[in-house]
Each structure stands twice: as structure tokens, then as C-alpha cells.
């Protein structure tokens, strides 16, 4: 049942909020990483195709956000949270504020997904059929994350789903330009995907008590704050360790060590998270740690993209 039925048309400003634009920066960074890795191969670069790839990735992410708001409205997760750590947690809040209905969010998600499918098919005609598989996998993950019967976010599998989705963003952006599969972007995208997981992981801490009430058993609910802090630290170290190993193995460019610039930000966020757990502070104290987590992810992707771009400019 729609908790906030409405017959008024969805206003553009409200649709914009449903898309949660603040989080789209992570997708933009992932696409730039994929495009830069393709440019570094020296096999040509189509600016128009790159622009369409970026647009479609952003629309797909926006669709997934609206889809998530729709289902969190239906299951009561967002309504159960009286004081979300905005803008990081608790959804866009437009449904809870009466500015839109859950059905509005569903219609917006489906409309955006339809645009992604149409644009993706055109892109695949020019880049290769493998892009269809990548796109379908991405859309399926976006649907399965929130929607029953899978509802992966409620089964402790949401973080794995997010890792796969953002790994596909980098791989798909590279494929759209390169026109074929390459293991270089596939390997280089793994650290980025792990850092994206940490965004979801730390964002789940303030929401955990309210998610638990509606049987939305995220990893934050299952592990508790101590478990989240431990897993967060492991993933931050693992992401940068993998990049270091790849760099030593000469998989990405010789300047790929630039991506390690995100390490201090990620570790600072981990320290703040541990401090929050140790002192039992209010969830509002997590705001700097969440900001550092997002910053670390952006710095990592953009620095690694710059390393690939530097190679492309030398050709």
C-alpha cells in the first residue's frame, strides 16, 4: 500500500531529490575511471559515445535511488527513522514529507530505466553486444537490491550487490569505448568497488536500529557497530592493498600509485568510526566519517583515472 497517495504530478525539483544527486558523484567518478582506462589503450576515443555512457550511468543510478525510495516507503524503513543523518541516510525523504508518493518514485524509476535501456541498446550497436550483458546485469542488480522477492539489501547482501554494480560501471564505461572486454579495467575497478561498499556500510550504522524494526537486516544490523568498524577497516586496507599489488604487477599504469592518495582519508574515516564505537557517541558524530568515506572513494577513482589519462595523453 502506498503510504502517501498523491494525484498531483511529480514536480521536477522533487524528482531531482528522488534521484539523490549528491551520491551521483560516485558514479561519475567510476565512469571517468572506465573511460580513462579505455583511452589509455590507444584504440581511439569517441567523445559523443563517452558523454552518452556517462549520462546513461547517471540515469541508471538515479533510477536505482528512486526504486529504493519506493520500496523503503512500502516496507516502512524510511518512515521508521525519525531523524535520518541527511543527506547521507534515510532516503530522499520526499515521500515522508508528502511531496511525492511511493508510486511517484516507482514511475520515475521505471521511466529512467526505460531511457537507460533505449540508450544502452543504441550504445551497444556501436560498441559491441557485450555491453548489453553488462547493462542488463547492472539493471538487474539495481532492481534486486530493493525489490521483493530478492530484496538483497534486507538479506545482508546489499553491500555485495553494490560492489558488483559499481565494478560494472567501470567495466561498462571502458567497454563502451574499447569495444571489447579487458582485464585491466576489470582488475583496476576492484579497489574502487570496495571503497563504494564502505559508503553503504558506514551509512547503514545510523539507520540500523530503524532498519531492524522492519526486518531490513543490512550488514550494519547483522554485525552491529563493532563489526561494521572492523569490516570497514579491512575493506579500506584491502582496497589499497589490492591497488598496490596491481601496481607492482604493472597491471595499471606506472602512475597508478596516485590512487593510494585516498588511503589517508579512508583510514581517518575508519579511526572516527572506531572512536564512535568506543565512546558510544550520537550518530550525528558519524557525519565527518561518512564525508571522508565518500571523499576517499572520489579521490581514489579520480586519481586512478588521472593515471590512465596521463598515459592516453602521451600517445
Query: How many CA atoms within 13 Å lie on the side-chain side of 68?
Result: 26
The pLDDT of residue 8:
67
The answer to whether 145 touches 168, Cβ cutoff 8 Å, is no
The span from the CA of 8 to the CA of 315, in Å, is 55
The pLDDT of residue 91:
78
How far does CA 145 lie from the centroid of its chain?
A: 12
Angle between helix 263-279 and 183-213 (nearest 10): 20
The pLDDT of residue 281:
78
> Exposed, middle or buried: residue 261 (CB in 10 Å: 0-12, 13-18, 19+)?
middle
- In this prediction, the residues of the chain whose per-residue pLDDT falls under 70 are 1-8
The pLDDT of residue 258:
97
Largest CA distance in the chain: 59
The cell numbers describing 286, all together, are: 558519524
The span from the CA of 55 to the CA of 96, in Å, is 29
The answer to whether 168 touches 202, Cβ cutoff 8 Å, is no
CA distances from 221 to 82, 98, 107, 119 (A): 17, 28, 30, 38
The pLDDT of residue 168:
97
Chain segment 116-173, per-residue pLDDT in tens: 999 999 999 999 999 999 999 999 999 999 899 999 999 999 999 999 999 999 999 9
The pLDDT of residue 7:
53
The pLDDT of residue 172:
97
pTM of the model as a whole: 0.93
Amino acid at each position: 500500500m502506498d503510504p502517501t497517495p498523491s494525484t498531483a504530478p511529480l514536480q521536477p525539483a522533487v524528482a531531482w531529490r528522488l534521484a539523490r544527486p549528491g551520491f551521483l558523484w560516485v558514479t561519475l567518478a567510476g565512469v571517468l575511471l572506465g573511460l580513462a582506462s579505455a583511452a589509455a589503450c590507444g584504440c581511439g576515443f569517441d567523445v559523443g559515445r563517452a558523454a552518452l555512457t556517462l549520462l546513461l550511468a547517471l540515469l541508471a543510478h538515479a533510477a536505482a535511488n528512486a526504486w529504493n525510495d519506493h520500496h523503503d516507503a512500502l516496507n516502512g524503513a524510511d518512515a521508521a527513522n525519525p531523524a535520518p543523518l541527511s543527506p547521507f541516510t534515510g532516503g530522499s525523504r520526499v515521500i515522508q514529507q508528502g511531496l511525492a508518493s511511493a508510486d511517484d518514485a516507482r514511475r520515475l524509476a521505471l521511466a529512467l530505466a526505460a531511457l537507460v535501456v533505449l540508450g544502452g541498446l543504441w550504445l551497444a550497436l556501436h560498441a559491441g553486444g557485450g555491453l548489453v550483458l553488462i547493462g542488463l546485469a547492472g539493471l538487474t542488480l539495481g532492481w534486486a537490491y530493493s525489490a521483493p522477492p530478492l530484496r538483497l539489501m534486507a538479506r545482508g547482501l546489499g553491500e555485495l550487490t553494490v560492489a558488483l554494480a559499481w565494478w560494472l560501471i567501470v567495466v561498462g564505461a571502458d567497454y563502451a569505448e574499447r569495444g571489447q572486454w579487458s582485464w585491466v579495467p576489470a582488475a583496476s575497478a576492484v579497489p574502487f568497488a570496495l571503497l563504494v561498499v564502505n559508503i553503504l556500510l558506514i551509512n547503514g550504522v545510523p539507520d540500523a536500529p530503524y532498519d531492524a524494526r522492519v526486518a531490513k537486516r543490512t550488514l550494519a544490523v547483522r554485525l552491529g557497530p563493532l563489526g561494521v568498524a572492523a569490516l570497514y577497516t579491512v575493506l579500506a586496507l584491502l582496497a589499497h592493498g589490492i591497488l598496490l599489488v596491481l601496481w607492482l604487477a604493472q597491471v595499471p599504469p606506472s602512475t597508478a600509485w596516485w590512487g593510494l592518495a585516498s588511503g589517508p582519508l579512508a583510514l581517518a574515516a575508519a579511526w572516527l568510526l572506531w572512536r564512535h564505537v568506543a565512546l558510544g557517541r550520537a550518530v550525528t558524530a558519524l557525519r565527518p566519517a561518512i564525508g571522508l568515506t565518500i571523499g576517499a572513494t572520489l579521490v581514489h577513482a579520480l586519481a586512478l583515472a588521472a593515471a590512465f589519462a596521463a598515459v592516453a595523453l602521451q600517445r
